Amino acid sequence: MTADKVRHQLLLSAALSQRIATMAKARHCSKSDLLADMIDAYLNRRWQEQPSERILARLDQIHRLAVRTNYETILVSYCLSRFIRHQLIYAATLPPPGEDARAIGVKRYELFLDTVARLIARDQGKGDQETSTNTAEPASGDSFPD
């Protein structure tokens, strides 16, 4: 414990304690840090009287979301570039595909695009709700040919 912190003790229900532990684990921080952030956010929101302060607080939230989204986009781009590089190196060692293989490849690609289009259409219907974690998997009945 650092010298600039004061210890407080409070009793929470088991369910609330479990929720806090889960949130702390998801955010990769300690329960104490999470609770301190929650109390600080509550007090700042509760006693903000100036609308400009509320706007700045909201802009700060948007900024943090943009930074996180930017990081995730960079990560996905990096993974995709590594995958493309791997596939190009792997494909260089294979003989050129015949007409049958190309036709199968075109069919699989069209099925992939149809599956992606269905997933996007389904997720757009949800509005602002968070998309499920398994949207990358084909929906039931959407299987790729072997």
- Is the pTM here over 0.85, yes or no? no
DSSP 94: S
Query: Is the CA virtual torsion 61, 63, 69, 75 positive or negative?
Result: negative
Asked if 144 contacts 112 with a C-beta cutoff of 8 angstroms, the reply is yes
Tens digit of pLDDT at every position of the chain (146 positions): 567 888 888 899 999 999 999 999 999 999 999 999 998 888 777 655 666 777 888 899 999 999 999 999 999 999 999 999 988 888 888 888 899 999 999 999 999 999 989 988 888 877 645 544 444 444 444 454 44
CA distance 129 to 53: 27
- The rounded distance, in Å, linking the Cα atoms of 84 and 78 is 10
